[in-house]
């Protein structure tokens, strides 16, 4: 009997993280979750809870090691963590280096490490496995939002990681590895803000089931799915 595939979700919060976990569990995946408040002793045979702070990139390396030891190599990796420290709208560069560096670790550096670790696992899997990496993004990779000028470090992180995802999607597609930056929008292309966990779960499972790399920037609308917004409404 073939073993169940494994999904690793880094940043397993109550909205997107938990909806995505349930969606993959329903498709017979073993689920590994990483979040600060998880209790490892509450793990089950089908779910591994890993407490971890993603402001420390070494947490990612340790998490992959635990997942591989318990379940095997993950064929789907979802990076869903995010951090922001609101800046002074009139003086955005007054943000402290400590806050900026910590949030950049969560939004980008740990995501980079996760993508690195994912490739190492994907190389050990067969061509029939999903081998998909998904990063939960937003519209900020297209520039600052005029209505929300206090999100500097979040925008920096999303922009940097979007670059990583685009580069990886091009570099690894011939090996069958898929990389996506998922960004929920409203129907008119503007930022969703109050994102929908169930909508994320639906498109994430669809992306994992795809056999070839699709558009790396997966802008999508709840109830519609992927939609290519040529000009974003910032």
Domain range summary for the chain, segments of one domain joined by +: 6-226
Q: Out of 30, 68, 158, 178, pick the active-site residue.
A: 158
Question: Could you give the percent of the chain with pLDDT greater than 90?
Answer: 94
What pLDDT is recorded for position 2? 61
Among 2-6, 99-103, 105-109, 219-223, the least confident range: 2-6
According to the model, what pLDDT value does residue 232 have? 47
pTM over 0.85: yes
Q: Which fold has domain 6-226?
A: Rossmann fold (3.40.50)
Report which of 4, 19, 2 is spatially closest to residue 222, judged by C-alpha positions. Answer: 19
Contact 34, 59 (CB under 8 A): yes
Q: Residue 67 has what pLDDT?
A: 99
For the stretch 111-125, pLDDT in tens is 999 999 999 999 999
- Show contacts of 59-64: CB within 8 Å, 24+ apart: 59/34, 59/110, 60/10, 60/34, 60/110, 60/113, 60/114, 60/117, 61/113, 61/117, 63/8, 63/10, 63/32, 63/34, 64/8, 64/114, 64/117, 64/120, 64/121
Active site residue 158: yes
């Amino acid at each position: 009997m073939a073993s169940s595939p494994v999904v690793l979700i880094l940043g397993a919060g109550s909205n997107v993280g938990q909806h995505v976990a349930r969606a993959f569990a329903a498709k017979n995946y073993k689920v590994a979750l990483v979040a600060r408040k998880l209790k490892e002793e509450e793990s089950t045979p089908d779910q591994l809870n890993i407490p971890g702070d993603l402001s420390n990139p070494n947490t990612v390396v340790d998490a992959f090691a635990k997942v591989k030891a318990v379940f095997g190599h993950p064929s789907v990796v979802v990076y869903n963590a995010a951090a922001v420290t609101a800046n002074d709208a009139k003086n955005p560069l007054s943000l402290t280096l400590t806050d900026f560096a910590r949030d950049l670790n969560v939004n980008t550096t740990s995501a980079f490490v996760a993508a690195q670790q994912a490739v190492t696992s994907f190389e050990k899997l067969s061509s029939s496995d999903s081998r998909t990496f998904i990063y939960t993004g937003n519209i900020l990779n297209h520039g600052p939002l005029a209505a929300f000028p206090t999100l500097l470090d979040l925008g920096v992180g999303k922009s940097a990681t979007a670059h990583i995802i685009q580069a990886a999607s091009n570099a690894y597609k011939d090996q069958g590895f898929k990389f996506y930056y998922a960004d929920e929008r409203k129907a008119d292309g503007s930022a969703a803000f109050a994102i929908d966990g169930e909508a994320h779960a639906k498109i994430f499972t669809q992306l994992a089931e795809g056999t070839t790399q699709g558009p790396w920037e997966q802008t999508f609308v709840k109830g519609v799915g992927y939609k290519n917004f040529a000009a974003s409404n910032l």
